[in-house]
Amino acid sequence: MHILYSILGLFAFVRYSIGLLEDVQASLSEQTSFDEYINKSLLWAPYRSNCYFGIRPRNVNKSPFILGLMWFDNSELNALNGIRHFVEQGDKLAKYGWEVYDPRIGGKQIFIDQHNNLNLTVYFTKNHEGDNWAIRVKGEPLDKTKKTTTSVVLYFNQNGEDGISKIVKTLDVDNSLQFEGFSKELGSYELSIRDNHGEYYADPNLPTMEVVSGCDSSRVAHVSLKVPDDNVWMAKDVFNSLLADSVRAIVQEKGTANISPSLNPSLFTIRNLYSFPAGNFHYVQKTFDLSKAGGFEFDVTYNKVNSKEKILSSQKITLLITEALQEVEARFNRHFQIQDEDKEMRVFALETLSNLLGGIGYFHGTQMVDRETTLDDGQYEKIDLANGHEEGPLSLFTSVPSRAFFPRGFYWDEGFHLLQIMEYDFDLAFVIMSSWFDLIEDSGWIPREVILGNEARSKVPEEFTVQNPNIANPPVLLLAFSEMLDKVIGKKENLAINFFGDNRADNFEETSQLENNEELLLVYAKKIYPKLLRHYEWFRDSQRGSIDEWEEVLEDEELSEDISKNEVYSWKGRTIDHCLPSGLDDYPRAQPPDISELDVDALAWVGVMTRSMRKIAHILNFEDDERRYANIESDIVKNLDLLHWSEDNSCYCDLIVNDYSEAREFVCHEGYISLLPFALKLIPLNSPHLPDLINLMGDPQKLLSDFGLLSLSRQDEFFGTKENYWRGPIWMNINYLCLDAIKHYYPEVTNDEIKQMDETSKKAKALYVKLRGNLISNVFRVWKEKGYCYEAYEQNTGDGKSAEHFTGWTALIVNIIGQK
C-alpha cells in the first residue's frame, strides 16, 4: 500500500505541475504525498472500538502503544461491580458516545453514568501534523448531594517483546507523572499526566488516608508491572484481581471493624502487593472527591521526542480542542444541508455521524477459520464449525455496527457504513474499503465477520467466532465502490487537487483527493482489479444454484432457451430457520428447505457485483471484460423477470421446484426480498413492474408504516413471529436503498417545480416524501427519548429494537436528512 500511495501522490503532483516540468524533481521533494498525509492524519485515534475510551495507532503492529480508560466509584464496598471499561449494554449508562468527532481531528465524548453518579467528558485532539495527541478527562457529579468519589484509572502499555521497546516513569511531582517511551515503529516519545483542577478524596477528620503503605486515595497511585502483550486487553481483569487480593489482605490484617468507612476509597486503591518487577504495563489511578465544587479535570499528552509541534501546556490543549470541535462542525455543515432552524436535528445528525466515525477501529491479530467443514447440498441442520484453526495475523481498518454489541468488522454492514462515510470524507471511505479488499484471499473469499485477536473474540459468542470459506454475505462493499466510481467519474478534472497544508480548517478538500481526481482512483482500481475479479468469481461459483433440478421445469414452461442457466443462485449455509449468509437471518424462505431453491436476493447481489465490475472494466479500458460483464448483467436482469417475477403476487420471489407438480413454485413473502431488485437499481428504467413495486411499498396494509418500510408484510403469515428479527421490524439499510432507488427511477420526486406527472410518478413522489419524513421523525424521536440509535425499529410502535447505540447503517439517516 505504501508503494500504491506513493504512485498516487506522483500522479497528483504531475497533474498539478503541468507547464512546470523543469521543476518536477525539486517540487517532488517538497510535495507531501497522499500516502504521507493519510498516514499522518489517521495514525492516532481511539481505534479500540470495544472500549469506552481506548487509543492505539493504526498500522503499527509489532510494537504499538496501547492506552485505555476505566472508572468507578470506590467509596462503596461493592465498588468493583461498577467498573467501566468495555462498552456494555448491561452497564445501563443513561447516555454515552461522541457528540462531535472526526478520526483525523478529534472530538468530544460524553458518559452519563448514574450508577457511579458521574457526568464524564473525554476530549481527544491532535496537533496539526497528527503525530502528537492529547486527552482531557473532565468529571462532575450528577447529584451533588451524594457523597461519592470517582476513581479514574488509566492504563497503558508499550508493546514489543524485543527487549528494546519500553515505557518508564521519569517524574512524579505533585500528582503529575511523566513517562519516557520507545518503540521501534513509533520512535521515542514522552507521555505526561497532569491535573488541571480537582481534589483527591481525603477525610479531614482522619490523620492519614493511607490504610496501608501504598493505598492512599489522597494521592495518585501508580503501579508498573509486566503483562504479556497479548493480555493487555484484559486490563480490567488484571486490575480487579490485584485490587481484590489487596483488599482481602488488608481486611485480614486489620479486620473490617478497624477500617473506617471513610477509608474505603483508599481500600480500593491499587498497590503492588506482590512486589512485581517494573515493566511496560502501567496503571495510574486518581480518586477525586465529587462533593467538591468544580469536579475534576486532568490532561494526558503524548509527544514524539523529535516532533516539530509538541503539545506542552493545558492552554495548547484547550486551543486544539476548540479548533477540533469547530472544524468538525464546519466540515459537517459543508457536506450535509440542514436548515438553520432545525438546531436540535443538526445536533442529532452530527452526533449520529460522529458515533459512526467513533466506531472506526484498527484490528490486528489471528482469526479462526474452519476450512475442513463442507456444506452438503440438502443438509439444513445447524452448521457446526468444529474444525477452526488460528490463521494470520491479519489487519483490518474498519467501522463497526455497534461498539457495545458488534465491535468487529462485518462484511455486509461495512458497505452501508461506507455509503455514509464517503459523503463526509471520501478518502477515509477509500482507505477503509482498501483495507477490506486487502483481505481477499487467493481463492477470492472474504470472511463475513472479521474477528482478529483475543480482544475482538472476547466480545463474540463462541458459535460465531469461526468463519468458513464456503459462506458468503451480501457484497455491499462492491455497491459502495460502484457509488464511489460514479462520484469520481461524474466530476470535472480539478488540477489543484493536492491540499496538504498545515491549516486544517481552511482545507476542506483535503479529505476528497480521490473524489476530485479520476486518475488517482483509477490507479487504485487497476491495482485492486485482480483481487476483485477473484472475489467476484468466488461469489458466483460458491453461491450458484443447482440448475440440474430445473431442467425439466424450464423445458415444460418453455423457458429453457430464454433464461441464462449459469445465472441462478442460492445462499449456501442456510438452515431450516435461518439464512445468515443472506444478511436477513430469519426472513421467511421456502419451507421445508429444498435443494432446488433459487434465491432472488442472491441473484440480485450478483447483479450488483457484475455491474460494479463492468464499471471498473470500463474506466480501465478493459473492453473484453466489460463486454463479458455487460452480457452477464443482461442475463441476470432477464432472469430476475423471467424466473423470479410472480404475476400473481406482483413482486419478486424465491423459487423451488414443487415436488408434486414438478413445476415452478414461487415462494413469495412480500417484504425486503421482494424489493431488492428495485432497491439495487437492477430493473430497467422502463420496467412494467415499477408501478406494482411502488404500490407495494406505498400500501399501509402491507409495508408502509409511520416509521418506515416494514421488513415483512403485515399480511404475511410469518409477520412478527418467533424471534421477529427480519419479520416486521424497520431496518435503515434497506429503507435507505429503497429511497435512493425511488429517486433513481423517478428523479422528479425531489423537484417541487415539476407539475406534469403520470399517476405512478405522483404515487412515487407521495411515497418518497412520506417515507423520508417517517424515517427521520421516528429515528429522531427515539434518539430524543432514549439517547441512542438502534439496530432496528419495532414495527408497531417505532421504538428502538435489538442492539442500542447502533450507529452502523442506522447512521444512513444522516444522508437522508442532509440530502433532499
Residues labelled as active-site residues:
585, 791
Q: How far apart are CA 745 and CA 683, in angstroms?
A: 10
Please give the helix or strand (H or E) that residue 326 lies within, else none. Answer: helix 314-335
> Three-state DSSP class for 211?
strand
Cell numbers at residue 700, please? Answer: 399501509
Cell numbers at residue 14, please? Answer: 504531475
Classify residue 419 by burial, with Cβ atoms within 10 Å: 0-12, 13-18, 19+: buried
| CB of 215 closer than 8 Å to CB of 326 | no
Would you report the helix, strand and coil content of the chain in percent, each value rounded to 5?
40, 20, 40
Residues paired with residue 749 on neighbouring β-strands, in sequence order: none
User: Residues 6 or more apart from 780 whose CB is under 8 A from it?
Assistant: 345, 348, 813
Q: How many CA atoms lie within 13 A of 348 on its CB side?
A: 27
| CB of 748 closer than 8 Å to CB of 732 | no
Sequential DSSP letters for 549-587: GGHHHHHHTT-TTTS-TTS-B--TT--SS--GGGT-TTS
> Which of 604, 599, 601, 600 shows the shortest CA–CA distance to 633?
604
| CB of 478 closer than 8 Å to CB of 525 | no
Neighbours of 623 (CB within 10 A): 10
Q: How far apart are CA 514 and CA 7, in angstroms?
A: 13
Please give the helix or strand (H or E) that residue 137 lies within, else none. Answer: strand 133-141
Helices 600-619 and 518-542 cross at an angle (nearest 10°) of: 150
Q: How far apart are CA 180 and CA 303, in angstroms?
A: 10
| CB of 469 closer than 8 Å to CB of 386 | no
| CB of 191 closer than 8 Å to CB of 156 | yes
